[in-house]
Amino acid sequence: MRELTLTSRHPRLRLERRTLARALAQLDAAFRFTPADLPTLSPAGRRRARAQAVAKNNAPSAVPPGALSVTFLTDPALTRLHSDYLNDPSPTDVITFEGDPAVDHAGDICVSVDTALAYAEKHRLPFAEELLRYVIHGWLHLAGYDDLEPRKKRRQRAAEDRALKLLRAADLVPAFNLKPR
C-alpha cells in the first residue's frame, strides 16, 4: 500500500479518511491498463505503461508507485493554484501535479469541494459520489489519461465511470459530509 496524505483545507468538509484510503488502494490494486487504453494516454503515460508491462509481464498498474497526496480545497484556493502554476486564472474542479518516481512520489491531486457541491446540487447527484469522481479524475491524470481532446475526454469519462462502479460495488464511496454553515 502506498503512502497517502489526505488533507482537507475546506472549512466545512468532514473527510472520511479511512474509506478514501481504502478506495484509492482498491483502484491501485484493480485498475490496470488494457491495450485499448494506450491510445488515450499521454506519451509519458504510454511509455510508463509499456515499460511496466514488459517489466512485470502483465497489465501495468495505472498510477506510478510512490507517495500520493489528495487535498480538498475551496474554489478560491484551487483557482489560485490554477493561476499560479498553470497560468490560467479561471476556476477549475481538479488539478493534478505529476510526481517524480525517482523520489518515490506519484503525485498530488487537488480537488474543489465547492465545485463538486454545486455540480451535485445542480444535477441532483450524490455529493459524495461527485467529490469521489473528482478524486478519480485526478488519479486517472496521474495514470496518463488526458482530457484535452473530445475523444480522449470520452475515454477518461468512461474510465471514471468504471472506477466509480468498482468502488460502489466494493462499498468504498466515502461519506464526505459538510458541516452546516
Q: Are 47 and 13 in contact (CB under 8 A)?
A: no
Is position 26 within any domain?
yes
Quick one: pLDDT at residue 40? 61
Cβ pair 58, 23 in contact under 8 A? no
User: Does the residue 100 lie in any domain?
Assistant: yes
Residue 10: give its domain's CATH number. Answer: 3.40.390.30
Residue 52 grid coordinates: 511496466
Return the minimum-mean-pLDDT range out of 55-59, 99-103, 143-147: 55-59
What range defines the domain where residue 105 resides? Answer: 4-175
Domain assignment of residue 85, yes or no: yes
**Over the chain, what is the mean pLDDT?**
87
pLDDT over 90 percentage in the chain: 66
Q: What is the pTM of this model?
A: 0.86
Q: Is residue 180 part of a domain?
A: no
Domain count, the chain: 1
pLDDT for 50 equals 53
User: Is 109 part of a structural domain of the chain?
Assistant: yes
User: Helix (H, G, I), strand (E, B), or coil: what is residue 181?
Assistant: coil
Residue 63: other Cβ atoms inside 10 A: 24
10 phi and psi angles, rounded to 5 deg? -95, 130
Residue 150 placed within a domain? yes
Q: Is residue 106 part of a domain?
A: yes
In the predicted structure, residue 104 carries a pLDDT above the cut 80: yes
Residue 181 covered by a domain: no
117-162 pLDDT tens trace:
999 999 999 999 999 999 999 999 998 888 888 988 998 999 899 9
The pLDDT of residue 113 is 98
Average pLDDT over residues 58-62: 57
